[in-house]
Amino acid sequence: MNFAFVNATKKWGGVKTWCLDMAVSLREQGHGAIILGRRGAFVDKARSLDLPAWELSFGFDLNPVAIARCLAIFVRNRVDVVVVNVAKDLRTAGVAARLLGLQVVQHVGSGGDFTETANARQTQRLIGARFLCCSAFVVRDITLYAPFLLQHEVIALHPGTKVPLAPAFAQHHPPVIIATSQLNADKYHADLLGALAVLHAEGAEFQARIVGTGSLAEALQDLAEQLGIAERVQWVGFATDVAAELERADIFVLPTLVEPLGIALQEAMAHGLAPVARNAGGVPEIWPPACAEYLVPAGPGPEGLLQALRKLLALPPAELLALRRAAWEHARTHFEIGQQAARFAKWVANPPVKRSL
């Protein structure tokens, strides 16, 4: 089969990582895969991975120029399946796929992405997409936010990530704490900084690396100054090689209150980092049992993160290393990208039978 992954979003997020990882893995399994997206990091990264990629100006919904360009690309590359993300993807690439009679898969990162309107109902009815949710939590969310989608096929499949065969498990002195989420309000980095400030005051030894960009980047750096931990925190900014950043760390923190799944968390465990996160959203679905005490209660504030980090930093190096190995083994067993790509391809190859009226 030949797949086209189309993403119209402007900022980097987990779904873009999923598109690229899935495309590469499908190609390794003998399928074809191409990428369509806005000019910038997404298309550039795809090309660096030797994936055929096209820049696309999506414009307004149902933009005939964008639809025509998608039609030409899909025909030229003999595409069988078009994978889209948000509404703008659906109303350009999805329309082109529908005109060609191709299968459309809409990847759903959050049930809150949908609102039940007449326009949404009509679009979904005309396109006839199959819905691939990143977690069972998102499927449950859909029943609340967009129950009309349940008229279509809706399944959950954890995205998967690349899992190194033999991570270095480098131990750093002092231990390095890392976060790789976008620096936006919904990611709650301020709670992490609050926890780090208490640890600093207690005399704990650590360094922190904050990877990513976002609307709160300057405000968070100012907060670190105010909390007296500026020398303990390095602001990396946007990183095209997140794996290399993870190899520089020992402990990963996902400070978000509710995460539909957490591809960043999957990546961190795959690289052998000890995880800390809140017990909410889709996170418990992929959490390693050996790290149960570091899945902290849901709710705002630094306290839960603080307690988990305090315990981890107090562990003897050998015990911290054992936790890291357990996290890596869990990732290898439960959401290695090759396994998930094979499951995805098998699902796509068996669409539901359409019954005639």
Asked whether residue 11 falls in the same domain as residue 137, the answer is: yes
Q: What is the mean pLDDT of residues 79-105?
A: 94
Q: Which residues contact 83 (CB under 8 A, 6 or more apart)?
A: 3, 4, 5, 6, 19, 104, 105, 106, 107, 132
Q: Is residue 271 part of a domain?
A: yes
* Cβ proximity of 324 and 283 under 8 Å: no
Residue pointed to by tokens 């082109």: 96
**Amino acid present at 297:** P
* Helix orientation angle between 317-334 and 263-270, rounded to the nearest 10 degrees: 120
Asked whether residue 126 falls in the same domain as residue 8, the answer is: yes
Angstrom CA distances, 203 to 9, 177, 210, stand at: 42, 15, 21
Angstrom CA distances, 5 to 8, 100, 141, 250, stand at: 10, 16, 24, 33
- Give residue 234's pLDDT: 98
Length of the chain (residues) = 357
Query: How many domains is the chain partitioned into structurally?
Result: 2
Give the integer Cα–Cα distance in Å for 266 and 330: 10
Mean pLDDT (the chain) is: 93
Give the integer Cα–Cα distance in Å for 229 and 239: 22
pLDDT of 236-262, one tens digit each? 999 989 999 999 999 999 999 999 998
Q: Which residues contact 66 (CB under 8 A, 6 or more apart)?
A: 56, 57, 58, 59, 92, 93
Residue pointed to by tokens 């899935």: 22
Residues of the domain holding 226: 176-334
pLDDT of 103-134, one tens digit each? 999 998 877 777 667 777 788 888 889 999 99
Q: Is residue 309 part of a domain?
A: yes
Q: Is residue 168 part of a domain?
A: no
Q: How many CB atoms lie within 10 A of CB 7?
A: 28
Q: How many CB atoms lie within 10 A of CB 219?
A: 14
Asked whether residue 216 falls in the same domain as residue 248, the answer is: yes
Burial class (CB in 10 A: 0-12, 13-18, 19+), 134: buried
Q: What is the mean pLDDT of residues 204-222?
A: 97
Q: Is residue 355 part of a domain?
A: no
Share of the chain above pLDDT 70, in %: 98
pLDDT of 275-323, one tens digit each? 999 999 999 999 999 999 999 999 999 999 999 999 999 999 999 999 9
Dihedral angle over CA of 353, 15, 298, 305, nearest 10: 150
Asked whether residue 8 falls in the same domain as residue 155, the answer is: yes
Asked whether residue 110 falls in the same domain as residue 230, the answer is: no
Q: Which residues partner with 154 through β-bridges?
A: 131
Determine the 3-state secondary structure of 207 from DSSP: strand
Share of the chain above pLDDT 90, in %: 81
Task: Report whether pLDDT(223) > 90.
Answer: yes
Asked whether residue 147 falls in the same domain as residue 20, the answer is: yes
In terms of Cα–Cα distance, which of 292, 235, 287 is closest to 262? 287
Q: Is residue 205 part of a domain?
A: yes
CATH code, domain carrying 243: 3.40.50.2000
Bond from prior residue into 174 cis (ω within 30 degrees of 0): yes
Report which secondary-structure segment, H or E, holds 104.
Answer: strand 103-108
Q: Which two tokens stand for residue 198?
A: 């208490």
